[in-house]
C-alpha cells in the first residue's frame, strides 16, 4: 500500500513538471492542460481512495487491537496464561506491527512512523526470535497434549474455549515459523488449516498463493522423508540390489498394548504429562499422610502436613509450607533478575541455555529479604539438612509452553565439572516449592516410576537425589511438563553433599562424632565414596528422622 502511494505521488510530480513547458504560448497546448487537469483529478481521487483504504484498514486493525487489549487488561495473568493469547500478543508486536509501520510510512504520516521508531528505542518489543519461540511452544503443546490443529485454531484447548479464533494469517505465520525451523510436519498441518480458513474469510489476512507455495514444498519434503524411511525398512531381493521390494505376505495381526516398561522415556514422559498413566491401587494403598515435626521445637507447636508420594525413592509432599506474603515478596524480588534458565554442560561445567529447558530463573540470597531467610529456615526444618552451604534459592517461572525435559538434579560420575560455576558440591536432595496453581499442564513427572505431581500453591515436594552411599539415584530422573494454560512459579532449594558435616543431629548427639568420616568424604571430593557409618547416618534422616503422627491414606492430587 505504501509503495503504491509513492508511485501515485511520483506520477503526480511527473505530470506537474510538464506544465512548465511554456504551454501558455499556444491555445492548443492550453487545451491539453484541461486534459492534464482531468488526469490529475482522477489520479488525486485514486490517491485519496488509496489513502482511505489504508486508513480504513488501520482503523479496523486498531479496533481489533483495542478489543484484545481491553480483554487483556481485565485479567492480565489470566489472559497471558493462555498460550494462544500469549502467542498472538507476540505476533501482534512483531509481524503485525511491521505491516502497520509499512502502512504509516507515507507523506503526512511520516511523523507517526518516526514516533514508532522512537518507541522501538524506549519500549520493550519482542524480537523475531521471540515469535519463533512462541510458535515452537505452541507446537510443543500440540504434540505433548495431542491437541487437534483445528481445535487450537478455534481457541480451544483440551475441550475448553479460551480465546478468539486464529485467522488464516495467524495459521500461516505458525506454518511459516515451522518451515523456517525445518519442521515440515507442522508446516503442513498449519498451512492446511490456513488454506481452509482463507476460503471462509471475507477480509483476507493472507494470500492463497503464499499458502500453497509453502504447503506444496513441505508436503513434498515430508513425503520424501517418509519414503526414505520406508525404503530403508523394506526387504529387498536376494542380492539386495533389486529396485523393487520383495513380495511379502499380508497378514492381519491384533496389536497388543505395549507394556509401560517397554515404552521409550519420551513416550512415558508425555503420557504422564497428559495424565494417561497413574499409579496402581496396590501402590496408592501403601501411601500415607502424616503430621510431622522433625524434632524441631517450633514445628512441635504446628506440625506440618506430610503426604507420601512414593516409597522407593522416597518422595514426600509438604502442604501449606510457603505463604502468600512470602510468595509475593519472592516474585517481586525475582522479576527484575530473571534471565533465561540454563543447564550445566557436563563436559565444561559451564551454564548454558538449551532448547529442552524453556523458562526464566533468578537466584535469591538470604540477605535479600527476611522472607527469603524465613523460607531458607523452613527448608532446613523440613529436611533436617542445613542450608548454610546450600545453593541459593532458585526462582523459576515458566511461560508459553515452558518446560524442562527429563533430567537429573545430581551430577553423575562422568560429570566431573558439574556445579563448578556455582562453586558447590553435588546436590544431595531437592526441595521444590510450588508458588502457583496451574490450570492445565505443568506437572512434575518421574518417568521411571510413573509418578506425576501436579502443582498446588503452597506445597513443596522433597526427595533425595543420592543414595546413602553417595551414589546417584537414577529413579529420581524427572521433568517439568509444558504449561498448557496458566503460569507456573516454582522455588527450588538444593542442599549439597559438602554439608554432611553440618547436618543437625536432632536426637541430642554431637555432630563431632562423625567429623572424621565427613572430612574423609569431603577430602575425596567424590560423590561415590562408600562409608558404612555415613550411610547409616544419612539413612537415619532420610528415612526416619521426622516424628510422625495421625496417619491416613494419601491422595495423589497434589
Give residue 558's pLDDT: 42
Residues 6 or more apart whose CB falls under 8 angstroms from that of 277 comprise 260, 268, 271, 450, 452
Residue 432 per-residue DSSP state = E
Give residue 109's pLDDT: 55
User: Is the pLDDT confidence value at 117 over 80?
Assistant: no
User: Which of 305 and 355 is assigned the larger pLDDT?
Assistant: 305
User: Is the pLDDT confidence value at 174 over 90?
Assistant: yes
Among 111-115, 143-147, 490-494, 554-558, name the one with the lowest average pLDDT.
Answer: 554-558
Q: Which helix (H) or strand (E) holds 362?
A: strand 360-364
Tell me the pLDDT band of 101, cut-offs 50, 70 and 90: confident
> What does the pLDDT average to over 481-498?
87
Distance between CA atoms of residues 317 and 125, nearest Å:
40
Give residue 182's pLDDT: 94
Residue-wise burial string across 302-312, b where 16 or more C-beta atoms lie within 10 A, e elsewhere: ebbebbbbbee
User: Which of 75 and 287 is assigned the larger pLDDT?
Assistant: 287
Give residue 266's pLDDT: 93
Question: In terms of DSSP bridges, do strands 339-340 and 360-364 run parallel, antiparallel, or are they unpaired?
Answer: antiparallel
Q: Where are the domains of the chain?
A: 277-504
Give residue 490's pLDDT: 96
Give the number of residues written for the chain.
558
Tell me the pLDDT band of 22, cut-offs 50, 70 and 90: very low
Residue (of 404, 206, 439, 433) closest to 331 by Cα position:
433
Distance between CA atoms of residues 494 and 379, nearest Å:
10
Largest CA distance in the chain: 120
SS percent in the chain: helix, strand, coil, step 5: 50, 15, 35
Among 258-272, 283-297, 502-516, name the one with the lowest average pLDDT.
Answer: 502-516
**pLDDT one-digit tens code per residue, 342-360:** 666 666 656 666 676 678 8
- For the ranges 164-168, 228-232, 399-403, the one whose mean pLDDT is highest: 164-168
Among 72-81, 174-183, 404-413, 533-542, name the one with the lowest average pLDDT.
Answer: 533-542
Among 108-122, 168-182, 361-375, name the one with the lowest average pLDDT.
Answer: 108-122
Q: Which three cell numbers stand for residue 282?
A: 496396590
Residues 6 or more apart whose CB falls under 8 angstroms from that of 415 comprise 344, 346, 349
For helices 370-383 and 324-334, the axis angle rounded to 10 degrees is 120
Distance between CA atoms of residues 268 and 260, nearest Å:
7
User: Which of 307 and 389 is assigned the larger pLDDT?
Assistant: 307
Fold (topology level) of 277-504: Jelly Rolls (2.60.120)
User: Is the pLDDT confidence value at 315 over 80?
Assistant: yes
Give residue 13's pLDDT: 40
Tell me the pLDDT band of 438, cut-offs 50, 70 and 90: very high
Q: Which three cell numbers stand for residue 517?
A: 568420616
Give residue 115's pLDDT: 61
Under 8 Å between Cβ of 265 and 511: no
Dihedral-angle region of residue 468 (phi above 0 means left; psi in -120 to 50 means alpha; beta otherwise): alpha
> What does the pLDDT average to over 523-532?
38
Count of helices and strands (H, E) across the chain: 18, 21
SS3 of residue 150 by DSSP: helix
β-sheet bridge partners, residue 464: 429
User: Is the pLDDT confidence value at 494 over 80?
Assistant: yes
Distances (CA, A) of 500 to 268, 389, 411, 412: 35, 10, 17, 19
β-sheet bridge partners, residue 493: 431
Residue (of 124, 135, 148, 92) closest to 401 by Cα position:
135
Cα Rg of the chain, angstroms: 32
Threshold 0.75, pTM exceeds: no
Following DSSP, what letter does each residue of 243-257 receive, concatenated? SSPPP------PPPP
> What does the pLDDT average to over 145-154?
96
Under 8 Å between Cβ of 477 and 526: no
User: Is the pLDDT confidence value at 526 over 70?
Assistant: no
Give residue 424's pLDDT: 60
User: Is the pLDDT confidence value at 247 over 90?
Assistant: no
Give residue 53's pLDDT: 83
Distance between CA atoms of residues 373 and 105, nearest Å:
54
Give residue 226's pLDDT: 63
Tell me the pLDDT band of 107, cut-offs 50, 70 and 90: low
Residue 96 per-residue DSSP state = I
First to last CA, the chain: 56
User: Is the pLDDT confidence value at 443 over 90?
Assistant: yes
Distance between CA atoms of residues 439 and 31, nearest Å:
76
Give me the percent of the chain exceeding a pLDDT of 90: 41
Residue (of 452, 394, 449) closest to 422 by Cα position:
394
Q: Which three cell numbers stand for residue 252?
A: 492381519
Distance between CA atoms of residues 87 and 134, nearest Å:
5
- Phi, psi angle pair for 499, to nearest 5°: -90, 10
Tell me the pLDDT of the chain averaged across its residues.
Answer: 77
Residue (of 482, 471, 487) closest to 526 by Cα position:
471
Among 399-403, 419-423, 552-556, name the one with the lowest average pLDDT.
Answer: 552-556
Under 8 Å between Cβ of 194 and 206: yes
Give residue 34's pLDDT: 67
Angle (nearest 5°) at CA 8 between 2 and 14: 140
Among 13-22, 88-97, 202-211, 266-275, name the one with the lowest average pLDDT.
Answer: 13-22
Distance between CA atoms of residues 215 and 475, nearest Å:
44
- Phi, psi angle pair for 280, to nearest 5°: -70, 160
User: Is the pLDDT confidence value at 520 over 80?
Assistant: no
**pLDDT one-digit tens code per residue, 286-295:** 999 999 987 8
Amino acid at each position: 500500500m505504501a509503495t503504491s502511494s509513492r508511485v501515485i505521488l511520483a506520477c503526480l510530480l511527473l505530470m506537474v513538471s510538464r506544465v512548465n513547458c511554456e504551454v501558455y504560448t499556444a491555445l492548443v497546448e492550453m487545451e491539453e492542460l484541461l486534459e492534464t487537469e482531468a488526469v490529475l483529478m482522477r489520479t488525486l481521487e485514486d490517491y485519496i481512495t488509496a489513502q482511505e483504504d489504508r486508513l480504513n484498514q488501520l482503523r479496523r486493525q486498531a479496533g481489533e487491537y483495542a478489543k484484545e487489549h481491553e480483554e487483556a487488561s481485565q485479567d492480565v495473568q489470566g489472559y497471558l496464561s493462555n498460550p494462544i493469547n500469549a502467542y498472538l500478543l507476540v505476533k501482534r508486536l512483531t509481524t503485525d506491527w511491521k505491516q502497520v509501520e509499512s502502512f504509516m510510512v507515507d507523506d503526512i504520516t511520516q511523523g507517526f512512523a518516526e514516533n514508532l521508531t522512537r518507541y522501538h528505542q524506549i519500549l520493550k518489543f519482542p524480537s523475531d526470535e521471540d515469535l519463533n519461540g512462541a510458535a515452537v511452544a505452541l507446537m510443543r503443546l500440540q504434540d505433548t497434549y495431542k491437541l487437534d490443529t483445528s481445535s487450537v485454531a478455534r481457541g480451544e484447548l483440551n475441550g475448553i474455549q479460551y480465546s478468539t479464533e486464529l485467522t488464516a494469517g495467524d495459521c500461516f505465520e505458525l506454518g511459516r515459523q515451522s518451515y523456517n525451523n525445518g519442521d515440515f510436519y507442522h508446516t503442513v498441518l498449519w498451512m492446511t488449516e490456513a488454506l481452509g480458513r482463507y476460503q471462509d474469510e471475507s477480509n483476507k489476512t493472507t494470500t492463497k498463493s503464499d499458502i500453497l507455495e509453502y504447503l506444496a514444498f513441505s508436503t513434498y519434503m515430508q513425503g520424501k522423508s517418509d519414503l526414505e524411511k520406508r525404503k530403508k525398512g523394506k526387504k529387498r531381493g536376494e542380492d539386495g540390489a533389486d529396485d523393487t521390494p520383495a513380495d511379502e505376505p499380508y497378514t492381519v495381526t491384533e496389536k497388543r498394548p505395549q507394556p509401560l516398561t517397554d515404552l521409550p522415556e519420551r513416550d512415558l514422559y508425555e503420557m504422564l504429562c497428559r495424565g494417561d498413566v497413574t499409579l496402581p491401587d496396590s501402590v496408592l494403598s501403601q501411601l500415607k499422610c502424616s503430621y510431622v515435626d522433625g524434632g524441631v521445637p517450633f514445628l512441635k507447636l504446628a506440625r506440618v502436613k506430610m503426604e507420601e508420594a512414593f516409597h522407593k525413592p522416597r518422595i514426600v509432599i509438604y502442604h501449606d509450607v510457603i505463604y502468600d506474603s512470602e510468595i509475593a515478596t519472592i516474585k517481586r524480588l525475582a522479576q527484575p533478575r530473571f534471565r533465561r534458565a540454563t543447564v550445566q554442560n557436563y563436559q565444561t561445567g559451564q551454564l548454558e541455555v538449551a532448547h529442552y529447558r524453556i523458562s526464566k530463573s533468578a537466584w535469591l540470597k538470604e540477605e535479600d529479604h527476611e522472607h527469603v531467610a524465613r523460607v531458607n529456615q523452613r527448608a532446613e526444618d523440613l529436611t533436617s539438612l542445613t542450608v548454610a552451604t546450600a545453593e541459593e534459592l532458585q526462582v523459576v517461572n515458566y511461560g508459553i509452553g515452558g518446560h524442562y525435559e527429563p533430567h537429573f538434579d545430581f551430577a553423575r560420575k562422568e560429570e566431573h565439572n558439574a556445579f563448578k560455576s556455582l562453586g558447590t558440591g553435588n546436590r544431595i536432595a531437592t526441595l521444590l516449592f510450588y508458588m502457583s496453581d496451574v490450570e492445565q499442564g505443568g506437572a512434575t513427572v518421574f518417568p521411571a516410576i510413573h509418578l506425576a505431581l501436579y502443582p498446588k500453591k503452597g506445597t513443596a515436594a522433597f526427595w533425595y537425589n543420592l543414595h546413602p552411599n553417595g551414589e546417584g539415584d537414577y529413579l529420581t530422573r524427572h521433568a517439568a511438563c509444558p504449561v498448557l494454560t496458566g503460569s507456573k512459579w516454582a522455588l527450588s532449594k538444593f542442599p549439597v553433599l559438602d554439608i554432611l558435616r553440618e547436618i543437625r543431629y536432632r536426637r541430642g548427639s554431637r555432630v563431632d562424632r562423625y567429623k572424621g568420616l565427613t572430612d574423609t568424604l569431603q577430602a575425596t571430593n567424590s560423590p561415590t565414596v562408600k562409608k558404612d557409618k555415613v550411610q547409616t547416618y544419612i539413612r537415619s534422616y532420610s528415612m526416619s528422622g521426622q516424628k510422625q503422627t495421625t496417619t491416613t491414606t494419601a491422595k495423589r492430587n497434589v
